[in-house]
Amino acid sequence: MKSIVLSSVVTALLVFSGCSSKEPAVDTESKKAPVEEVVAQEVEIVETETVTAEESMVNSSASNSNLSMADIEAQLSSVYFAFDKFDLDSDMQAKISTAAELGKSGASNYNVKLEGNCDEWGSDEYNFALGLRRADAVKKALVSEGIDGSRISMVSYGESNPACTEKTQECYAKNRRVDFKLLP
C-alpha cells in the first residue's frame, strides 16, 4: 500500500512539473565563418617513383646471393597440418629445414611472420587458438634449426584467411596451414 501511494506521488510530481516552457537560446554571433567563406585547401600532387628490379634487391653479405623479398617468399612454401592437429609431419619438417636455410642465408636481414590458418570446422575461438598453436609449432621447429626466435612473430587468422573456398576435403586441407611472410 505504501509503495502505491509513493509511486502515485512521484507520478503526480512528474506530471505537474512537465516540460519547461522556456525557449532554447540560439547563439546568433557564431565565431565560425560561413560555409561560403571557407577556402578549400590546396592539395599537393603526389609524385610516384618507379623502383627497378636492381634497386629492390636485398643487400646481403658477400656469401649470400642477392635475392629480393618477393623471391625469397616465393621459395618459402606453406606448412600443412592434419585435421584438428598442430603436430609437424616428417614431410613438413623438410619444408621447415628449407625455410631455416633461407632464413640463415638470403633472408637473414628480415624478420619472419608466421600466419596460422585453419579450415572452417570448429568455432572461431577454437580456430584462432589452433592457428596460433600451429604457428608456434613451426616457430619452435625453426628455432631448433638455428633461427633466432626474436626474429619470428606469429599471428593466427583462424578460418578468416582461406586459400580455398570450395566445400571439399582437398580444399579444407589447403586451409590448414602456416604461411611465411617476410618483414623488413
Q: What is the pLDDT of residue 40?
A: 44
Q: What is the pLDDT of residue 109?
A: 83
Instruction: Provide DSSP, 95-134.
Output: HHHHHHHHHHTTTTTSEEEEEEE--S-S-HHHHHHHHHHH
Task: Share the mean pLDDT of the chain.
Answer: 78
Q: What is the pLDDT of residue 74?
A: 85
Residues near 132 by beta carbon (within 8 Å), at least 6 away in sequence? 116, 154, 156
Complete domains list, the chain, with CATH: 69-183 (3.30.1330.60)
Q: What is the pTM of this model?
A: 0.62
Instruction: Provide DSSP, 28-69.
Output: -S-SSPPGGGPPPPP-PPPPP----TTTTS----TTS----H
- What does the block give as the cell for 83? 585435421
- How high is the mean pLDDT in each 10-residue block of the chain (184 residues)? 76 64 55 47 50 43 57 88 91 89 83 93 93 95 92 93 92 94 88
Q: What is the pLDDT of residues 10-26, one digit of tens each?
A: 776 666 666 555 555 55
